[in-house]
Structure 1
Amino acid sequence: MLATYATHPERTRGRLYPEGESAFREPYQRDRDRIIHSSAFRRLKHKTQVFVEHEGDYFRTRLTHSIEVAQVARTVAAALGLNSHLTEAVALAHDLGHTPFGHTGEDRLDELMAPHGGFDHNAQALRIVTSLEQHYAEWDGLNLTWETLEGIAKHNGPVTGALPYALAEYNAHHDLELGTHAGAEAQVAALADDIAYNNHDLHDGLRAGLFTLDELAVLPIVGDMVREVDVKYPGLEAGRRQHEALRRVFGVMVEDVLVTSKRLIQQDNPASVEEVRALDHAVIQFSNGLWSDIKLIRKFLFKRMYRAPSVVEMRERVSKVLEDLFAHMLANPSDLPSNWQGQLGGANETAIARHVADYIAGMTDRFALQEHARLGLG
């Protein structure tokens, strides 16, 4: 049973290209399934969060992260009476636009694309599902519902001011009402992303030896959970101690979102998803206290993980790889795969640059390194 403020499938605004709907799957289930079966989703297996893909088998990739986000999002959506299929579709799609080498790759590609409109991974995710996936006979993209596209574009909140190039390009012919909040399902996906990556970055940092669990024990939330585990399981083996503490951190964050969001929904009393969109604030939120704690955890991770000497050294190396690939492909578009060259007839420099950016952004960590070596750019 869906709440009145949820996104009801029978009220969908439909797809850009009309098509018959399934007799046994609601529209948002079909969206989720199309995302899972897309080429871009498969490539997430070899795209990393912080570490380069070949550095270790146990570090998170964009694929494992997306699955973890979807799991959290489904749990929260079900507890709040929201449409779990739509929530899962947005959660699984939210990282499709990421470049190889995590945020390092995105930052460098954005710098390289500055003269041509920049690069934004959220906008690129929308571009992938509306254009770059080219498998269907009657349209480019996946032809997802308006609600799923809205969620991908706006899951971090209203998009105002200067729009990312790819987002402005699409929105010009299919209005996603970028100035409002998305439905509550997309808001859930956004906070599930925060919960998942904060927890797994702590886990991956521990596995990489960048800090210890006892060093994390000075942080809010984490410290309380470490002490709780130590009281309940004195002398517990290190790996189990770490897991027990971090899974409790996970639970605290999920519980806080549920309690806070239920209070906001009760306070605002939206009678429909349209009323959720019309509010001047998100209805899915952390409490102020927990959000302050999360910011302290992020500050710790920024210093001890994202700016750790080994990670900084890797960032510099892979930034150079992307810079070399971009410069070479821009100067030599004939080195693009043949199926990419056919779309460049008569294109100006900006169009070629955006085409090259699409190609490079779709690369996995491994393929980017292989192409860099194959072209003799090292």
Structure 2
Amino acid sequence: MPAPYAADPAHTRGRLYKPSASPTRSEFQRDRDRIIHSTAFRRLQHKTQVFLHHEGHHYRTRLTHTLEVSQIARSIARALHLNEDLAEAVALAHDLGHTPFGHAGERVMATKMAPWGGFDHNIQALRVVTLIENRYAEHDGLNLTWETLEGILKHNGPVVGDGLSLHGQDIAIALREIVASADLEPGTYASLEAQAAAIADDIAYNAHDIDDAARAGLISIGDLSALPLVGPIAGEVLDMWPEAERGRQIHEVQRRLITRLIENVIAESAEAIIAAAPANADAVRAMGRFLIGFSPDVVDAEVELKQFLFAKVYRHPLVMTPVKVGEGVVSRLFDRYMEEGDMPGRWGMAFGAARSDAARARVVCDFIAGMTDPFALDEYARLFDERPDFR
């Protein structure tokens, strides 16, 4: 049974457009279902996580990563007596704003959009679910509840600081077009369900990036031995199965790492919630700090793991070479569309109707951000009559 501090779908702050009643689903379950059935969600199947699409079908994509985050978020929410459906909805939507070619594409978009309000994938995810998805007859967007929109925006914490910007995107400008049933309160913390989705994201990518990097031959299980938290797990696995195939050994490390991180979050967060004693979900928002998190020693260990992955994986030549190519594709597409406006369908029409460079740039940004890796390459071939070589 959900705790008093869990989000209550029966007392949601509502949707922008009043939907018909559902006798079988709660409001947060409806949000989850709308996200799963959206076009943007399906496109995640062909968007890069770390290893680009051409490198093989066994590496994580944005979709498989999202599903892993969703499963972990539900596990944490269940143990802490939160609303599992809201945690799942936020987890499923958290990467809907990502560009093709992973963070490489995001960096290019942030640079290109700097003169016109900037770019951040969380804000872009909000644009997707409130403006860009156009499947419903009565309205644009998915018409999600306030709580899910809040979670998409603030799962990593408040987004209003001294600079009023998020990764270069002006929040005040960005939120003008994102209309919810009530103020999303960007200066407060989000629900515990959204916090669970955020830490599930960290757990998922730390663990699966080890798995994918080992599959790609960039690291070995021995490389993990000196790391806190992961090193002892690797030692256990080698002691128990010294003759096992490398893939089996790495999988054992990965799944044990996920389990221990989840257990750590649950234990640490349960204590924090008891100490804070929030009376309801609004009290959580007013707390002024995260209540869902790792213990201090695991925080330190996770920092060291991220540094290891950055040095050994994310900056490895086998990763960086195709990343640079992806950056070039996104950059040239942006410049060409801004010059010519030769985008298909409603995007070309919207570009033609835009009355300022800023408005035209935002149309181009929305179009490119929604692309899958293969579609971006198809557009590149259409416009430039060539195919980039990622190898």
Q: TM-score range by the shorter chain?
A: over 0.9
Give TM-score, length-normalised by structure 1: 0.97
**How big is each residue's C-alpha offset from its partner over 1:114-149, in whole Å with a ceiling of 9 and x where there is no partner?**
111111000000000000001111111000000000
- Aligned equivalents of 1:16 and 1:349: distance in 2? 29
| Displacement after TM superposition at 1:361 (Å) | 0.5
- Listed as ranges, the matches of 1:155-234 within 5 Å are 155-161=155-161, 162-163=164-165, 164-165=169-170, 167-170=174-177, 174-234=182-242
Map of 2:95 onto structure 1:
95
| Per-residue deviation, 1:167 | 3.6
Corresponding residue for residue 346 of structure 2: 339
Superposed CA RMSD in Å reads 1.3
Which residue is 2:10 aligned to? 10
2:365 paired residue among 336, 339, 357? 357
Task: Please tell me the residue identity of whatever aligns with 1:36.
Answer: I
**8 Å Cα contact 1:153-1:167 kept in structure 2:** no
Unaligned runs of 5+ in 2: 387-391
Give the residue type in structure 1 aligned to 2:62: R
Instruction: Tell whether 2:246 aligns with 1:238.
Output: yes
Q: Percent identity?
A: 51
Residue of structure 2 in register with 1:255 after alignment:
263
| Pairing partner for 1:314 from 316, 322, 332 | 322
Partner of 2:297 in structure 1? 289
SS in 2 for 1:18: coil
CA contact (8 A) 2:130 2:179 kept: no
Cα pair 1:39 1:133 within 8 Å, conserved: yes
The amino acid that maps onto 1:220 is P
CA distance 1:234–1:323, change in 2 (3 Å): closer
The answer for the alignment partner of 2:56 in structure 1 is 56
Counterpart for residue 111 of structure 1: 111
Asked if the contact 2:90/2:152 (under 8 Å) is kept, the reply is yes
TM-superposed deviation, 1:21:
2.5
Alignment length (residue pairs): 377
What is the letter of the counterpart of residue 148 of structure 2?
T
Q: Which amino acid aligns with 1:340?
A: W
CA gap 1:311/1:233 in 2 versus in 1, 3 angstroms: closer
1:170-207 CA distance string (max 9 Å, x none)? 45774101111001000000000000000011111111
Counterparts in 2 of 1:368 and 1:340: CA distance versus 1, 3 Å: same
Residue correspondence of structure 1 range 63-78 to structure 2 within 5 A: 63-78=63-78
Does the 8 A contact of 2:126 with 2:178 survive in 1? Answer: no
CA contact (8 A) 2:50 2:314 kept: yes
Distance 1:364 1:332, change over 3 A: same
| Shift of residue 111, structure 1, vs aligned partner | 0.4
Task: Give yes or no for contact 1:48–1:102 (8 Å, CA) kept in 2.
Answer: yes
For the 8 Å contact 1:51–1:311, the answer to whether it is kept is yes
Q: TM-score if structure 2 supplies the norm length?
A: 0.94
The question of 1:348 aligning with 2:364 is answered no
C-alpha distance in structure 1 between counterparts of 2:354 and 2:249, whole Å: 61
The amino acid that maps onto 1:21 is A
Unaligned runs of 5+ in 1: none
Matched, 1:273 2:281: yes
Per the alignment, residue 85 of structure 2 pairs with: 85
Q: Is the 8 A contact 1:330 1:352 kept in 2?
A: yes
Whether the aligned pair in 1 keeps the contact of 2:90 and 2:194 (CA below 8 Å) is yes
Q: Deviation of residue 211 (structure 1)?
A: 1.2
CA displacement at 1:338 relative to structure 2? 2.4
Of 264, 276, 281, which residue of structure 1 is paired with 2:272?
264
SS at match of 1:375: helix
**Per-residue CA distance 1:305-357 (angstroms, 9 max, x = gap):** 11101212112111111111000000011x11122222231521110011001
What is the distance in 2 between the residues matched to 1:255 and 1:95? 24
Letter of the 2:132 counterpart: L
Q: Which residue is 2:389 aligned to?
A: none
- The residue that corresponds to 2:47 in the other structure is 47
CA distance in 2, matches of 1:207, 1:233: 18
Contact 1:69 1:91 survives alignment (8 Å) = yes
Give the superposition deviation at 1:232: 2.8
Shift of 1:94: 0.0
SS of the residue 1:342 aligns to: helix
Q: What is the Cα deviation at residue 230 of structure 1?
A: 2.5
Q: How big is the shift at 1:245?
A: 1.6
Counterpart of 1:343, as a letter, is A
Structure 1: distance between partners of 2:244 and 2:100: 38
